[in-house]
Amino acid sequence: MRLDKAVSSARGVSRSAARSLILGGQVCVDGIQVRDASCQVGAQSVIGLGADLIPGVEPAHQYLVYHKMLGEVCSREDAHHPLVFRHFNDNMRHPLMTVGRLDQDTTGLLLLTTDGRWSHRVRRPGHHHKCYEVTLSESCLDSVQDQVLAGVKLEDEHRPVQVQRIERMASNQFRLWIDEGRYHVVRRLWAALGYHVVGLHRSSLGPLHLDIELGQWRPLTQAEVDLF
C-alpha cells in the first residue's frame, strides 16, 4: 500500500492532506523519516506521525476539546477567516483534525484528535446526540416545539429532521438535542419553519459537556475518550 493511502486511512484525512504531512517531514516508517508519498508500506510497518517521534513506536494519540469562537473556521487554510488550528503550536497542529465541523457563525464544543478511528466512532449517526442552544431573530408560539418534535422536512430532502428533545429558554431561544450530520441542519430546520437563526452554540456532544472558557482548549481525560 502507498504511504499516503495508509496515512489517509489511519488518520481520517484526505490523500492530499496525507501527502502534505509526508512532504513536510511529519511521517516516519519504522522510525525513519520518509518524504516519498509513493513509498510502499506493509501490514507490519510502524507508521509514526508527529514532530516528536520515537523510532519504531507509534506516538500516543491526542484527544482535545476546544471552545470554538465566533468567526473561526475549521479549515486548514482560509484567507479571510481565522482558523481554529491557530491556537495550537506547529508540533500539534499538523497531525490534528477536527471531529466534524462547526461553521464560522457557530460557537461551542469542538473535538480535535489525531485518531481517525476514534473520530469516525464519534461521528457515527445514531450514537451521540448533540445539544445546541439556538437564538432566533423573533419570538415564536409555544406550538413550534410540537412542530419541531413532529419532524421537519427540509427543502429537496425526503427524510425529515428528527429532534429528540427541545426546551424553551426564552421567547426566542431554545435548547435542542439532535443526532444529525446534515449540512447546516439546525439552521435549515428553523428556516423551514419560517424563522431565522441569529445565534447557535453547541454545549454538549453525547455525554461530554463544555466546561472551558471561550477560546480555550484542554486534553480529554482517558475516561472522557472512553465515553465514545
Catalytic residues: 103
Task: Tell me whether residue 47 is exposed, middle or buried, using C-beta atoms within 10 angstroms of its C-beta: 0 to 12, 13 to 18, 19 or more.
Answer: middle
For 50: left if phi > 0, alpha if psi spans -120 to 50, otherwise beta; the answer is left
Cell numbers describing residue 28 = 516516519
Name beta bridge partners: 35.
Answer: none
DSSP conformation letters of the chain: -BHHHHHHHHHT--HHHHHHHHHTT-EEETTEE---TT-B--TT--EEESSSPBTTBPPPP-EEEEEEPTT-B-SS--SSS-BGGGGS-HHHHTT-EESS---TTEEEEEEEES-HHHHHHHH-TTT--EEEEEEESS---THHHHHHHH-BPPTT-SSPB-EEEEEEEETTEEEEEE---STTHHHHHHHHTT--EEEEEEEEETTEE--S-TT-EEEPPHHHHTT-
